[in-house]
Amino acid sequence: MNTYIFSIVTFVYMAAMVVFVAYLAFRKPLVARVATVIMTAGWLAQTAAIGLRWYESYEMGIGHAPMSNLYESLVFFSWTIILLYLFIQYKYKIKILGAFVTPFAFLGMAYASISPSVNETIQPLVPALQSNWLISHVVTCFLGYAAFAVSCGVSCTYILKKRYEDRQATGGVLGAFPASGVLDELIYKTIAIGFPLLTIGIVTGAAWANYAWGTYWSWDPKETWSLITWFIYAAFLHARVTRGWRGVKAAVLSIVGFVAVIFTYLGVNLLLSGLHSYGGG
Amino acid sequence: MTEKKNVKPKSLATGRITAFFASLKLTIFLLILLALVSIIGTVIPQNQMPAEYLKFYKESTYTTLKAIGFLDMYHSWWFVLILALLALNLIVCSLKHFPRTWRFFAKPTRLLDRDLEKAANLIWHSPGKKKWPEPAGLLPQLKTLWPGKWCLTEHQGERGPEFHYAGEKGCWSRLGYYFVHLSILVIFAGGIIGSLFGVKGFVNIPEGEKVSSFYTYGAQQTSIALGYQVECRDFTVEFYESGRPKEYSSDLAIYDDGKLVKEKRIEVNHPLSYKGFTFYQSSYGAYGGAVELELNFRESGLVLPLKLEVGKPLRLPEKWGWIEVLKYDENYMRMGPAVMVLRDPGNGVKPYRFQVFQRYPKFGEQNSKTGEFCVFKDIEQRYYTGLQVNKDPGVWIVWLGCIMMILGLFVAFFMSHRRLWLRLAPANDNPERLELVFVGNANKNQPAFAAEFQELVKKIKAWK
Ligand code: HEM
């Protein structure tokens, strides 16, 4: 049942994405409002389905929060991206970013629903994952990842807009984007949200590892990649206050940071080996 | 920001070195370098046995990789050196910047002078018409308007006495990123203490037995005394239907000086600590429990109950030869508990082996080709529990550092130092009237503060 709702949500997010792109082209506030409504509806349905899946796992007698395998984590990832996006849109009143952020949520859901290598069934937890640390660790990591996804979307926009401003062009789609200064501030804001969350995610992971098997840090590939991501965003934070590193270079660092996030999340399991569980699905 | 006045000639070189180690460009370089080299260790498996590497690499490649430290790179001298440089960078940089930050505490800007007025991006001038409240009575009003730390300075200006009010909130938030930086040093310190004074090892305890020492990992496996005894009273394991382990746990008891001092059932994620050592459930194994079998002879209908230790052949009475349980599996090919039996009938027939399943008692009879078959009645299964033993005196320092870092990040990102100045001074055109100038400044999140500032301006306008 829940997987059925998730596939519908996938299409809803696709629709929201299309309408957000249409907003880029037509720039009518009504279009943006429609896109936001579609997106919110999809998010509410997804929230309900996550709750349902949680409930179903208890019905099956293997109750656990729905964040334990690749399928569930992809769904959760999309959910946090939309949540964070809606928060930012509400707080900073910028609707133009939707077109750059929805694709991440849509792709996450589509990958979860379509890829044959992603197992949709609710599975029991292996002993190592049976811990209260699981939820705090996963939730903080994914909220951080979602903030970085949004910042990556903004960074791409920023680079396009900056080039456009440097050409002193007018009109066109890019003309409708917020000024590069505003975008630059937004990149910083989203990373300022993501960085503490990633830090908490790494710390809760370390605390859990210490509690479970007595080492807070063992340089396993997933741990190391999360630290690599952390180094990149730390570099970004310092780049922003360094002459010669501001602007486009810092934006590129934030995009590289998000590539590292994706690798931490998916690449490590698909290409490298280690302790974390959602390999292959 | 530029060189200080008292630069002595000899400190020029030291000055350059300091500038190098204080620079943020070095920080960015080191952070990116760390990110890049860390990738190596995620691609090349770390700390494997030489034989594992030789499966993938040529001998010469292996020796080269080993020599440059790629096989244990996170502990190699050059990786540690990068971390040390980062720490040095951090210390020098913070020491350099701190005096400037400290000035906000020691010498807050109290006067709203013309320079400050010119540089301000949040500013409001009164039209100069209204009559303002008494200068002396303004302070309490300002405090209710904006509950920060306010103070009043009287100043003799060109056109008569001026009243300067300075208010601020959240000055301490300027310390946020120093706190973050300090936390990194604290975490490093905890890690160093752990690696110098900590130990890691393992011990296997058979059910019902006690140990008083454990073994370290690594080639030497030195034995380390605990100073007390640990008993494994009982071990249990449960499986999911798929055969994956669901839960395993050990009932542990600790005896210090011969007295029982602690008991706990430990499982994965739920360890036991005593006197600096922590015991983690990490593995388990089955070992030689007695297996109860029945050997049935079809022709005579004779049933021979047997009790066999795994791996110990038993000579049967009469001329019935030998029997031995070779191996016990808890879940053989997902068909539940099973033993592999070696049977040597001793009458010139070749010895043969077969599986006997506890859950399928008829299986043996149906598949027997020799006129005899076995039934697996029970096993007095005995396990040993595999514990990881750990002592890390640095771990609390690491947690302290982590908490400092998280708090510091929240302060650095979400708190700001907000300052307001208000000046009542004789107006330019009419020294009889007082003119009011209101200026605001925030070191972070200016848009939010600008909104707050506009609200304050509205309230000031409403003053009678
Ligand atoms: C892993 C190492 C480091 C981490 C995690 C870190 C973290 C941070 C954070 C979170 C901030 C606040 C950023 C902001 O408010 O936007 C900051 C600021 C700063 N960091 Fe670091 N830092 C590190 C290393 C260093 C080093 C080695 C230096 C030495 C040059 C340094 C110099 C600074 C300076 C000068 C600022 C203030 C920037 C400003 O004016 O806002 N940091 N750092």
Comparing B22-31, B45-54, B335-344, the range with the smallest average pLDDT is: B45-54
Q: What is the pLDDT of residue B258?
A: 87
Considering only the beta carbons, identify the residue of A131, A217, A232 that sits closest to B269: A131
| Nearest-angstrom CA–CA distance, B187 and B404 | 10
Beta strands in B171-244 (DSSP E): 199-206, 209-216, 223-239
- CA angle A120–A125–A130, rounded 5-degree value: 140
Amino acid letter, residue A157: T
Q: What is the pLDDT of residue A229?
A: 97
Greater model confidence, A211 or B218? A211
Q: What is the pLDDT of residue A36?
A: 92
Look up the CATH number of domain B108-170+416-461. 3.30.2030
The tokens of B224 are what?
């380390």
Lookup result for tokens 């299409």: A11
What is chain B's alpha carbon radius of gyration, rounded to the nearest angstrom?
A: 39
Q: What is the mean pLDDT of residues B177-198?
A: 94
Quote helix, strand, coil % in chain B, to nearest 5.
35, 35, 25
Element (H, E) at B25: helix B24-43
Question: Are residues B264 and B230 in contact, defined by beta-carbon separation less than 8 angstroms?
Answer: no
Confidence of residue A54 (pLDDT cuts 50, 70, 90): confident
Greater model confidence, B47 or B117? B117
- Residue ranges of chain A whose CB lies within 8 Å of a chain B CB: 124, 126-128, 130-131, 133, 192-193, 195-196, 199-200, 203, 206-207, 210-217, 219, 221, 224-225, 227-228, 231-232, 234-235, 238-239, 241-242, 244-245, 260, 268, 272-273
Reported as a single tens digit per residue, the pLDDT across B254-312 is 999 889 999 999 887 788 989 889 998 888 887 667 888 888 888 888 888 888 887 78
Question: Are residues B282 and B387 in contact, defined by beta-carbon separation less than 8 angstroms?
Answer: yes
Q: What is the pLDDT of residue B288?
A: 61
A192:B414 CB<8 A: yes
Q: How many CB atoms lie within 10 A of CB B416?
A: 21
> What average pLDDT is seen over chain B?
86
Does the pLDDT at position A238 exceed 90? yes
Q: What is the B406 CA–ligand 1 centroid distance (Å)?
A: 14
Q: What is the B171 CA–ligand 1 centroid distance (Å)?
A: 18
Non-local CB neighbours of A125 within 8 Å, separated by 6+ positions: A62, A64, A68
Q: What is the pLDDT of residue A127?
A: 60
**Closest to B19 measured CA to CA, from B93, B105, B91:** B93
Confidence of residue A40 (pLDDT cuts 50, 70, 90): very high
| Nearest-angstrom CA–CA distance, B293 and B37 | 59
Max mean pLDDT among A73-87, A97-111, B74-88, B369-383 falls in: B74-88
Considering only the beta carbons, identify the residue of A211, A227, A244 that sits closest to B271: A211
What number of residues does chain B have?
464
Question: Are residues B150 and B419 in contact, defined by beta-carbon separation less than 8 angstroms?
Answer: no
Q: Which residues belong to CATH 3.30.2030 in chain B? A: 108-170+416-461
Q: What is the pLDDT of residue B8?
A: 53
Greater model confidence, B132 or B89? B89
Half-sphere exposure of residue B380: CA atoms within 13 angstroms, side-chain side? 11
| Nearest-angstrom CA–CA distance, B137 and B112 | 19
| Nearest-angstrom CA–CA distance, B248 and A144 | 33
Does the pLDDT at position B93 exceed 90? yes
Q: What is the A230 CA–ligand 1 centroid distance (Å)?
A: 13
**B-chain residue closest to A216, CA distance:** B395
Q: Which residues pair with B259 in a beta bridge?
A: B256
Does the pLDDT at position B2 exceed 50? no
Share of chain A above pLDDT 90, in %: 40
**ipTM value for the complex:** 0.88
The pairing of strands B149-157 and B160-169 is: antiparallel
Interface membership of B245 toward A (CB under 8 Å)? yes
Does the pLDDT at position A281 exceed 70? no
Q: What is the pLDDT of residue A278?
A: 41
| Nearest-angstrom CA–CA distance, B464 and B457 | 14
Amino acid letter, residue B246: K
Confidence of residue B3 (pLDDT cuts 50, 70, 90): very low
Burial pattern A68-83, b for ≥16 Cβ within 10 A else e, equals: bbbbbbbbbbbbbbbb
Does the pLDDT at position A277 exceed 90? no
Q: What is the mean pLDDT of residues A107-111?
A: 89
**A-chain residue closest to B25, CA distance:** A242
Q: What is the pLDDT of residue A205?
A: 93
Q: What values do phi and psi take at B245, rounded to 5? A: -65, 135
Comparing A116-120, B166-170, B455-459, the range with the smallest average pLDDT is: A116-120
SS3 of chain A? CHHHHHHHHHHHHHHHHHHHHHHHHHCCHHHHHHHHHHHHHHHHHHHHHHHHHHHHHHHCCCCCCCCCCHHHHHHHHHHHHHHHHHHHHHHHCCCCCHHHHHHHHHHHHHHHHHCCCCCCCCCCCCHHHCCCHHHHHHHHHHHHHHHHHHHHHHHHHHHHHHHHHHCCCCCHHHHCCCCHHHHHHHHHHHHHHHHHHHHHHHHHHHHHHHHHHCCCCCCCHHHHHHHHHHHHHHHHHHHCCCCCCCCHHHHHHHHHHHHHHHHHHHHHHHHCCCCCCCCCC
B269:A211 CB<8 A: yes
Does the pLDDT at position A232 exceed 80? yes
Q: What is the mean pLDDT of residues A187-212?
A: 92
Confidence of residue A274 (pLDDT cuts 50, 70, 90): very low
| Nearest-angstrom CA–CA distance, B293 and B337 | 13
Amino acid letter, residue B442: A
Reported as a single tens digit per residue, the pLDDT across B217-250 is 766 678 889 999 999 998 888 877 766 777 788 9
Q: What values do phi and psi take at B209, rounded to 5? A: -120, 165
The pairing of strands B418-426 and B303-309 is: unpaired
| Nearest-angstrom CA–CA distance, A69 and A9 | 19
A127:B402 CB<8 A: no
B413:A192 CB<8 A: yes
